[in-house]
């Protein structure tokens, strides 16, 4: 058994897409990989209520309760381990989790820590990706599912989506179209990892 723990900070739309895929495709039976918990660093994250409605355990670990990133990450790691229970170490999926994780956290979850980023990596790492893509005159944008490493947004690419940039696009319009593709490629990438035994 290898459970899945999803980390969010806001609405959790990618989390919802992952949970729906896990339910529709019965990841718990097919891969021995149930979604065990959703954890947020913000108590007001809207995605927590949706996860509770699905019968998924939720927890809040507020970064504001800790004096530094290392102590927050240590508490987060402990929460993840306790949610996952017995069996293999959990697969940890970042779904709009707006915290940069410490090298120690990343190393302790190496190979089991996945993120989705709203750009065609390696282009536009970090924030404000859509506005930056428009400012650069890009003809295409998209999203990337990747492994998390100690270097921000530089892990191995697992899946990408490509979205054309339209003449009338502004950052919100482009973001909305990219987000729709994120909801497709993130579950697909996780499904492939589970089917391959996280190879």
Helix (H) or strand (E) holding 157: strand 157-164
- The distance in angstroms from the start CA to the end CA of the chain is 16
Neighbours of 166 (CB within 10 A): 10
Given a cut of 90, is residue 88 above it in pLDDT? no
Total structural domains within the chain: 1
Q: What is the mean pLDDT of residues 4-22?
A: 98
Site of tokens 């593709």: 181
pLDDT, residue 89, reads 87
The rounded mean pLDDT for the chain is: 96
Given a cut of 90, is residue 1 above it in pLDDT? no
Q: Alpha carbon 150 to chain centroid distance?
A: 16
pLDDT, residue 156, reads 97
What is the set of active-site residues?
Answer: 117
The CATH number for 35's domain is 3.40.50.170
Backbone angles phi, psi at 117, to 5 degrees: -125, 135
Given a cut of 90, is residue 60 above it in pLDDT? yes
Tens of pLDDT, residues 93-124 = 999 999 999 999 999 999 999 999 999 999 99
pLDDT, residue 183, reads 98
Tens of pLDDT, residues 122-174 = 999 999 999 999 999 999 999 999 999 999 999 999 999 999 999 999 999 99
Of 128, 187, 132, 195, the closest CA to residue 161 belongs to 187
For 90, the domain range is 4-195
pLDDT, residue 109, reads 95
Given a cut of 60, is residue 199 above it in pLDDT? no
Helix (H) or strand (E) holding 155: none
């Amino acid at each position: 058994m290898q459970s899945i723990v999803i980390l969010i900070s806001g609405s959790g739309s990618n989390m919802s897409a992952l949970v729906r895929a896990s339910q529709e495709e019965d990841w718990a039976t097919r891969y021995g990989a149930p979604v065990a918990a959703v954890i947020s660093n913000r108590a007001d994250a809207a995605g927590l209520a949706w996860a509770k409605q699905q019968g998924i355990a939720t927890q809040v670990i507020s970064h504001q309760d800790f004096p530094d990133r290392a102590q927050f990450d240590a508490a987060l790691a402990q929460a993840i381990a306790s949610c996952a229970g017995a069996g293999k170490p959990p697969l940890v999926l970042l779904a709009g989790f707006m915290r940069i994780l410490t090298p120690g956290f990343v190393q302790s979850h190496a190979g089991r820590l996945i993120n989705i980023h709203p750009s065609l990596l390696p282009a536009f790492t970090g924030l404000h990706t859509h506005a930056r893509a428009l400012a650069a005159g890009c003809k295409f944008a998209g999203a990337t599912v990747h492994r998390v490493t100690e270097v921000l947004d530089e892990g191995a690419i697992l899946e990408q989506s490509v979205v054309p940039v339209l003449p009338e696009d502004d950052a919100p319009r482009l973001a909305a179209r990219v987000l729709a593709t994120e909801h497709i490629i993130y579950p697909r990438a996780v499904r492939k990892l589970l089917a391959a035994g996280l190879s």
